[in-house]
Amino acid sequence: MSMDILKRQIKDKKIDRLYLFFGEEEYLINYYIKEIQKIIVPSGTEDFNLAVVEGKDGIDGILPICESLPVFAERKLVIVKESGVFRKQGNSELEQFFQNVPDYICIVFCESEVDKRLKLYKLAEKAGTVVEFSYQEPKTLAKWIIKGFGLKGKNIDYDTAMLLVEYSEPGMTSIYNEIEKITAFLGDRNTVTPADIEAVCIKTLKSRIFDLTDAVAARDSRKALSLLNDMINLKEPVPRIMYMIVRQLRQIFETKYLLKNKATRDDIARVLGVSSFVAGKLEKQARYFSEEDIKKYVKICLETDENIKTWRINDRTAVELLLGDIISKK
């Protein structure tokens, strides 16, 4: 709802006095800040009418900045990044300010995390517009990718766009960087293919987990351990690797259920929110494992995770033993 309000405000050029933007999707946060700036800060007046305050150290300077009037413009824009004021109780000056923000000010707080229980957060909701920017759904990203390549004069179909989502790290900035690299790689060619994505994009953790699962299915402990070492050498946290292994097993389990109910590859892709290419890989992996196998492996993963959290065993050693245990039980 808040996102719809924000879009309408920008379309109508009726910008609020106070905004709180928070969440993981920095690309969209930066996009909407630029849109607000275009509307209220006349070109050439940025030195007078645009102020950026970064970090907790700048908190004391916010109110003095807001007290100064705009120059050669009706309003001024103040952007406050990662202040931390929405994560701890008690900032009476800001609480008072939020209840009487001057009409000539537009102040935008950009925070990675907030505590919605705080009085300051509730005041922001009452006095202005609060928008949470979460990572976008794969289907939404695929449509955005198609549009992005279109702006560069290139074509990509929906399934290939979904494959790019699978190959990219979370976040639109990461995906945009991949679009740039693929566009350069294509040269004079107009159409993006799955082969282009595999040639250009560095495999993400999600993609490597597929390879790891294939190695487990083939009972290839050497390859499985080699893939694990690659991930750890790339600074992937072991808890995240564990999470992704369990996630992969659960997706395989869901795929088995769907196949049992006569689902097609397109059905699997739609239900799981993955590309047709990835659905095909899940379909193949689902035939490697029985339902009992998957339940057993998930249980082993959860036990291993518990051992790591209670410091009974080193995390790297624990995952190596986990893979050996799973492979030996095939």
What tens digit of pLDDT does each residue of 275-313 get? 777 888 889 888 888 888 888 888 888 888 777 777 777
Q: Does the structure show a pLDDT above 70 at 52?
A: yes
Residue scoring higher pLDDT (196 or 234): 196
pLDDT of 121-140, one tens digit each? 999 999 999 999 998 888 89
Q: Which of 10-19, 89-98, 126-135, 312-321 has the lowest mean pLDDT?
A: 312-321
Tokens coding 73: 């413009």
The whole-angstrom separation of Cα 35 and Cα 294 is 48
The whole-angstrom separation of Cα 237 and Cα 230 is 12
pLDDT of residue 329: 60
pLDDT of residue 221: 82
Q: Does the structure show a pLDDT above 90 at 23?
A: yes
Of the pLDDT bands very low, low, confident and very high (cuts 50, 70, 90), residue 1 is: low
Any idea what DSSP says for residue 26? Answer: H
Global pTM reads 0.73
pLDDT of residue 210: 76
Q: Does the structure show a pLDDT above 90 at 213?
A: no
Q: Which residues contact 119 (CB under 8 A, 6 or more apart)?
A: 89, 95
Domain spans, the chain: 2-132, 138-200, 205-328
pLDDT of 63-76, one tens digit each? 889 988 999 999 99
Closest CA to 328 of 286, 302, 296, 291: 296
**Among the CATH numbers 1.20.272.10, 1.10.1040.10, 3.30.565.10, 3.30.1330.20, which is that of 205-328?**
1.20.272.10
The CATH architecture assigned to 2-132 reads: 3-Layer(aba) Sandwich (3.40)
Share of the chain above pLDDT 90, in %: 47
Residue scoring higher pLDDT (59 or 329): 59
The CATH architecture assigned to 138-200 reads: Orthogonal Bundle (1.10)
pLDDT of residue 121: 94
Closest CA to 22 of 139, 123, 155, 116: 116
pLDDT of residue 319: 81
109: left (phi over 0), alpha (psi -120 to 50) or beta: beta
Average pLDDT along the chain: 88
Residue scoring higher pLDDT (203 or 320): 320
